[in-house]
Structure 1
Amino acid sequence: MVINMNQENKWIIDNLRNEFKQIQADRLVKIESERALEEKIGVGRQRIREVINQLVEEGLLIKYEGKGTYIAPYIKSQYVNLLCSPTIKSNDPFYNRLLMELTCYSAKNCINIVPLTLENISNGTSEFPLLMIGKLEEEDLKKIKSLFSMVISFENYPEHDDFIQIYFDHFKIGLNAAKVLSSYGHKRVIHITGPDKYASACYRRNGFIRGARKQGMEFTIITEKMNFEGGYRAGEVVAKLVREGKFTAVFAANDWMAIGMIQALKAKGLSVPRDVSVLSVDNIPLASQIAPNLTTYSLDANMMIAEVFSLMDRISDDSGYSVDKRIILRPILITRDTLQKI
């Protein structure tokens, strides 16, 4: 999107761009609120929003839903190696979004990505950082660590503390989901999840089980594929449990499963949230477009990427910086229409 570049708009953009670049740092810097900018510049809120959106398009600013707008950290590293796990599914919403945002961020900041596979991993340039996306086997990790001095993973490896890990705590997502559902009065809950081979599904399930027991909830687990079809099949079982077992809520491992399940419930004559509430994870674009709008946890890929490059910049500036670092990011609960109190 490019805003109408009349002289006043251009003056505001140029001045804010210069101001933000003067305070740009090697970490995220939060800017003033829209209200504060409106009062300082003396123009309407709509114009301020247009100007901010233009600077977001340029890559100077980053918007985090529910947290505010930040100046993107400046980047010194011009190359990064990128390795994706072969277990990543081509239709996985989280990884697709992460890769798309990583590509956009790199293009805006003139960063060259060197794509690698496990077969050609030795062709990578060892002095450049290696970004790992998806879960990798121990044998592969050992080889990777022997080849690259800086390794950054977007996954949690609990048994390793010798490379950087930036991730959302999926166990705590499940734990919090049980707490949220309990606070809405739900004491009999169904969790639909994916196979154990998917780390996120496994951690979310284990966290949910821990949380459900802590909240004194009765629960049952349904395992299916983590896509629309799997959710639809799970929904046929959920419909029976809701009618016969008096279950009142479902925690879905991801949005596609939740959406498929909701369609199956509609086909069975059940209404969400009147008959059963639904809570999910991912906040894919469709979550806010279906009816009813899906209540879900937002995992902000932009936040992960900004943390990665901010961290890389700090390490390059400080030779004594420790690389055994974990950065655990907090998801944001987006409350919409599929969750109600009973």
Structure 2
Amino acid sequence: MKDHGTNNDAGMPTRQLVRDEITLKLRRIIEEQRGNRPVKIAAERVLAESLDVSRLSLRAAIKGLVHEGLLIQKQGSGTFIVPKTRIDAIHLFVAPDIKPKDPFYQEFFATFSHFLATQSIRLEVVTTDQTELNGAETPLILVGLAPQAIVIDLKKRYHHIVSVQSYPDSLDITQVFFDDYRIGQHAGQILQAHKHERLVHLCGPNAYPSAAERRRGFIDSLKHEGVAAEVIEGKMNWSTGYEMGDEVFSLIRGSYGATAVFAANDWMALGLLRRLTEKGVAIPDELSVIGCDDIHLATEIEPHLSTFRWDMDFLVSELFQVLNSLVYSDTHPHKRVLLPAEFIKRDSLVAHTEATDE
């Protein structure tokens, strides 16, 4: 009989009791089916029917188990049991280029730390100054873009290294990261689908693989359609986006007639929006804007910013799946695992015909 949220004699809501019972049943399913690879559980409708509970209570129980690190929800794919990890200790090296306020790495470290806690994995943060350091079989996670000399030194010390940053010139390092080329390509395709033909890309320094790949994917998506794009390069922060606003303004109101912008990250996009608003540009009527990162401010401005969102739980889950394969496989395969980002459409994006007809 499905729960209806009534109270029992002790005053505790029946809904909470049912939710606890569902959680217990799901834990048993997880214990029975958990292995070395993610296992997909039944669809919500099927699971609710088999347990004879409401989908609302089932969702609440699943949410709790996701928070505990036992389940992971993958956009468009379903809910999966997080695989067992045989790893009990991890070394972490953070590259010098990492900025503490970078929204991507802030979210990564929070999710990563939570996973370690749920799996009881010991963590040691290491530096190249530790001359006695000898990683042996302890796997190392490399975060950020480290100089080549540091990468070479780390490869001498560790048998197993996994990076969460693209290293195009170090294919002997296993890499798990979001597909920046696909993000840029997808942004170009989305803007073309919205009838925009005069585009601007605010890109980060070409020295950073993520910025370079987003730029390459964006430009490649336009090659066969006769769509024009102006590229403006600079630091990936609010101030640079604001400063770029004057040049973008001239591209909007001048002969080029720009109608849409893809910014390499949300901070650039937000700085741009502030400057263009000051100059009297109507967003999105005159200019559509897409960012990347889905920082919390993306929904605190008007119009809300269209952007790409990372599934950090998915990244961390894949990271440890690869680590388990590396450490306990006889073949020790090196590979690059590219993960998709989710596009979030909000008010800053409209079709060009829709904007001009208003």
Shorter-chain TM-score above 0.5: yes
Larger Rg: 2
Are residue 310 (structure 1) and residue 325 (structure 2) matched? no
1:66-215 aligned within 5 A: 66-120=76-130, 122-215=132-225
1:194 & 1:326 partners in 2: Cα distance?
23
* Matching residue within 297, 300, 308 for 1:297: 308
Cα deviation code 1:72-117 (max 9, x no counterpart): 1111101111011101112211122111111111111111111012
Write the distance in 1 (CA, Å) between the matches of 2:151 and 2:82. 30
Residue deviations 1:150-184 (CA, integer Å, cap 9, x gap) = 01111222233322111222223222322221121
- Whether 1:43 and 2:31 are equivalent positions in the alignment is no
What's the counterpart of residue 22 of structure 1?
A: 32
C-alpha deviations, 1:290-321, integer Å up to 9, x for none?
A: 332222122222222111111222334432x3
User: TM-score under structure 2 normalisation?
Assistant: 0.88
**Cα distance in 2 between the residues matched to 1:288 and 1:67:** 26
Distance (whole Å) between structure 2 residues aligned to residue 121 and residue 307 of structure 1:
31
Q: Is 1:286 matched with 2:282?
A: no
Alignment of 1:190-269 (within 5 A): 190-244=200-254, 245-269=256-280
SS of 2:115's equivalent?
helix
Number of residue pairs matched by the alignment = 339
Instruction: Report Cα offsets for 1:26-65 as digits up to 9, x if no partner.
Output: 2222222222222222222221111111111222112234
Report if aligned partners of 1:195, 1:202 keep a CA contact under 8 Å in 2: yes
Q: Distance in 2 between matches of 1:175 and 1:325?
A: 22
**Structure 1 ranges of 4+ moved more than 6 A:** none
How far apart are the structure 1 equivalents of 2:151 and 2:14? 50
Unmatched tracts of structure 2, length 5 or more:
1-12, 353-358
The answer (yes or no) to whether the contact 1:93–1:284 under 8 Å persists in 2 is: yes
Structure 1, 247-256 or 96-105: larger mean CA deviation = 96-105
One-letter code aligned to 1:313: N
- Aligned partners of 2:14 and 2:337: how far apart in 1? 40
| Residues 221-274 of structure 1, C-alpha deviations (whole Å, 9 max, x = no match) | 122321222222222322232122310000000011112212222222222221
Matched residue SS, 2:79: strand
Deviation at 1:199, TM superposition (A): 2.3
Quick check: 102-111 or 294-303, which moved more?
294-303
Q: Post-superposition shift, 1:120? A: 2.5
Residue 145 of structure 2 aligns to a residue whose secondary structure is coil
Distance in structure 1 (CA, Å) of the matches to 2:143 and 2:83 = 21
CA separation of 1:67 and 1:234: change in aligned 2, threshold 3 A: farther
Percent of aligned positions with the same letter in both sequences?
Answer: 34
Deviates more, 1:325-334 or 1:71-80: 325-334
SS, match of residue 222 in structure 2 = helix
Mapped partners of 1:122, 1:81: distance in 2: 14
Q: Structure 1: 5+ residue runs without aligned partners? A: none
CA RMSD of aligned residues (A): 2.0
Give the stretch that moved more between structures: 57-66 or 299-308.
57-66
Distance 1:72 1:4, change over 3 A: farther
Query: Alpha-carbon deviation of 1:5?
Result: 7.8
The offset of 1:122, in angstroms, is 4.7
Equivalence for 2:10: none
